[in-house]
A and B are shown apart, each in its own frame.
Chain A
Amino acid sequence: MKPIIEVQNLGKSYVVQKPGDRWAGDLSDAAAQVLRRLLKGQIFRKEVRERFWALRDVSFQVFPGEVVALAGHNGAGKSTLLKVLCRITAPNAGSALIRGRIGSLLEVGTGFHADLTGRENTYLSGTILGMSRREVNARFDEIVAFAEMESFIDEKVKRYSSGMYMRLAFSVAAHLSTEVLLVDEALAVGDVNFQRKCMGKMGQIAGQGRTVLFVSHNASAMRNLCTRGILLDHGRVIQDGDIETIVQAYLTYGSKGEQNADWTNSTDSFCHPAFQPLSLRLSYKDPLTETPDFQSEMTVCLEGAIEIPDPDLNVGISITTPEGNEIFRSFLRDTPTLADKKFSKGKHSFRIPLPVRLLNEGDYRIEIVAHNTKAWFLEPGKGNPSIPFSIQGGFGITPYWLERRPGVIAPELTWSISD
């Protein structure tokens, strides 16, 4: 079987405009530049222009029926690749061959006009996206039914609610019948219900044996829809493989370093006879290759030294947002068996497993706190030893959540039904 998409050494660069470039600015600037060069006798000198490569040496093949995720952080070149493949912009180097017709869904409502009716917009948008009039005719009822728009289809689009507008616009796009579909995740907009419906439809399209290239930031969506992934960074293909490998690589890529920021008391600071923190570290399964998701088992490891034992010493941790808003605290004396524990002089290690399925996707800090019954030794929010950590992806055990849940925390509660 021949690949349906063959991309060879594709490159796309943009000229970095500087004042004084020949073609920078408006027409009079350009004329003034030409005149200046003419006077200096430099008109024929080749201009050295700085180029920024948004895509460089990108090569890959996609076979019919594959659903491929294009992953990468912002600026990695995903959108540029889609734009080149659907011919919105031309490449500067390399080539691509697509053995079939190509449809692109880069936004919802391409070609929609507020002053036209739903019916008129359906035909217009469908035709702009590449359907023939006959194809729109044949699918019209399906499109309207999917959008649940039967009674409003002859109403002007500007009288629609934004939800209705997007339902219709997505429905038109989702009924394209090209062999290859290029989809930007930005397509799935609107409220959560509508996004789920969009993603469901995308899954259905993917299941029909059509070839789909899917650009996404969303690990769950990629896992649910795609079988294979291509990871891009700085315009180049970094990795190409099965979807699980790529999603893992995507989630860890560029976020190491920060993740393993352990804290050790190398300068002998925070010195207090009752308790001096020595180190703080977060351990979880295979920290080198994995960013914790919301069900990762993480353990806070804390070391401290006691010079003069204080019977009322209490050590704790505080989890905050990066801005310093406290989410919760936990103390040594919370644990019943340790409630009356007496510490001896010397070094002590504490291990605190964090609850799983509690923290939402996002960035956090762990901070060491300590006090006795009279005073704080390490008062929360006062520049205590702390380390950052992030939780990425895994929004739930069921596939219901495709995006970060609203709210600070995302505890998994168990529902039951008693009829």
Chain B
Amino acid sequence: MTNDRNLVAPSPPPEASWIHIDGDGQRLTEVASEFWKARELLWLLILRHLKIRFAQTAMGAMWVVLQPLTTALIFSVLFGVFVKVPSEGIPYVAYAYPAMVVWSLFSQAFERGSSSLMAEERLITKVYFPRLVIPFAASFSALVDFAISTLLLVPISLFFGIRPGFGVFASVMAIPPIMILATSFGILTSCLSVRYRDLRTAAPFATQIWFYATPVVFPLAVVPQNLRVWVLLNPVSAPVLWFRASFIGTSFPPIWSLASSYGISLVIFSLAVVIFRRVERGMADWL
């Protein structure tokens, strides 16, 4: 009988699983350990994002590639044909696409993260689990799109006669700061937009401005010498340049800029977690 097992009274739970409820927020260590315990949930939520995304679509994963590719094509007509932006001797499409792939990772991860809490309102008001999982799952689902469009990067490069060498493996270095940064901004925007819905409108607008502040569709070389430092201090710039350089052999950004990108993204991440923790307690009341 299956029910016999259920009739045994549960053994007293260990003290570690006790729950203390009071007006004070959780300590950061508790936040971290709860988050770790919820990793299965994180994974299932990421999977859910994917399944829902490709449910009942005829072209499925093709859509993922189409977006950065079309944007790259549009910019190659604009900048490669009309304006003739220098592209370090590489056909403009091949030059713009890898940068666009990284940029898409950033903007997608940011945008999905920033609308995530509002989208999961029903969950948040009905059941408790570490809420941090929600923006994380949303942001990290963008990694799948990124993987698919990176795979396409190889045939595109080969088509234009570029042979990616072992430098390709260096591209991995560009991903962590992008993800940390995008997730942090996603966390910040989503938890603050629970209270101030204005931010939902502001987020895509901010991404758009940010796009033109990052050397995605133009090379760093066209930026006046005295402004380059500022462009490189933009924490998205170095990873974008780094990723492109490791695939198609353009010039790498200075190593300090990648290091500062890591540094800035970690600082923003800590800030985001601290703010999230403060907002989390009253979140269900605002939703």
Interface string of B1-35 (1 = CB under 8 A from A): 01100110110110101111111010000000000
CB–CB B22/A113 < 8 A: no
Task: Indicate the member of A64, A88, A95 with the most B CB atoms within 10 Å.
Answer: A88
Of the stretches B209-217, B245-253, B279-287, the one at the interface is B279-287
A354 contacts partner chain B, Cβ-Cβ < 8 Å: no
A133 cross-chain contacts in B, Cβ below 8 A: 40
B227 contacts partner chain A, Cβ-Cβ < 8 Å: no
CB–CB B48/A124 < 8 A: yes
Known: A209-B10, A210-B10. A128 touches B41 (CB 8 A): yes
Name the one of A90, A97, A98, A99 contacting B281, with C-beta atoms under 8 angstroms: A90
Report the bound CA distance from A110 to B25 in whole Å: 25
Name the one of B21, B23, B41 contacting A127, with C-beta atoms under 8 angstroms: B41
B78 contacts partner chain A, Cβ-Cβ < 8 Å: no
CB–CB A111/B123 < 8 A: yes
CB–CB B22/A115 < 8 A: no
Report the bound CA distance from A88 to B283 in whole Å: 9
B13 cross-chain contacts in A, Cβ below 8 A: 99-101, 179
Known: A27-B196, A104-B127, A120-B51. A132 touches B40 (CB 8 A): yes
Of the stretches A78-86, A283-291, A357-365, A376-384, the one at the interface is A78-86
A177 cross-chain contacts in B, Cβ below 8 A: 10
CB–CB A128/B21 < 8 A: no
B196 cross-chain contacts in A, Cβ below 8 A: 26-27, 30
CB–CB A88/B51 < 8 A: no
Report the bound CA distance from A124 to B45 in whole Å: 8
Instruction: Identify the closest chain B residue to A30 (Cβ).
Output: B196
CB–CB A94/B22 < 8 A: yes
A92 contacts partner chain B, Cβ-Cβ < 8 Å: yes
Known: A92-B23, A110-B126. A127 touches B40 (CB 8 A): yes
Task: Indicate the member of A94, A100, A207 with the most B CB atoms within 10 Å.
Answer: A100
Known: A107-B126, A127-B40, A208-B6. A83 touches B284 (CB 8 A): yes
Report the bound CA distance from A26 to B25 in whole Å: 25
B117 cross-chain contacts in A, Cβ below 8 A: none
> Which residues of B48-65 have CB atoms within 8 Å of chain A's CB atoms?
48, 51-52, 55-56
Tell me the minimal C-beta distance from B197 to chain A in angstroms.
Answer: 7
Tell me the minimal C-beta distance from B44 to chain A in angstroms.
Answer: 5
B56 cross-chain contacts in A, Cβ below 8 A: 115
| Count of residues in B whose CB is under 8 Å from the partner chain | 44
A: interface residue count bin: 35 or more
Interface string of A146-179 (1 = CB under 8 A from B): 0000000000000000000000000000000101
Instruction: Identify the closest chain A residue to B25 (Cβ).
Output: A90
B41 cross-chain contacts in A, Cβ below 8 A: 127-128
Report the bound CA distance from A84 to B285 in whole Å: 11
B88 contacts partner chain A, Cβ-Cβ < 8 Å: no
Name the one of A30, A96, A100, A110 contacting B22, with C-beta atoms under 8 angstroms: A96
Tell me the minimal C-beta distance from A125 to chain B in angstroms.
Answer: 9
CB–CB B19/A102 < 8 A: yes
CB–CB A86/B23 < 8 A: no
B129 contacts partner chain A, Cβ-Cβ < 8 Å: yes
Tell me the minimal C-beta distance from A247 to chain B in angstroms.
Answer: 27
A258 contacts partner chain B, Cβ-Cβ < 8 Å: no
A141 cross-chain contacts in B, Cβ below 8 A: 2
Name the one of A26, A30, A98, A106 contacting B19, with C-beta atoms under 8 angstroms: A98
Task: Indicate the member of B13, B19, B48, B281 with the most A CB atoms within 10 Å.
Answer: B19
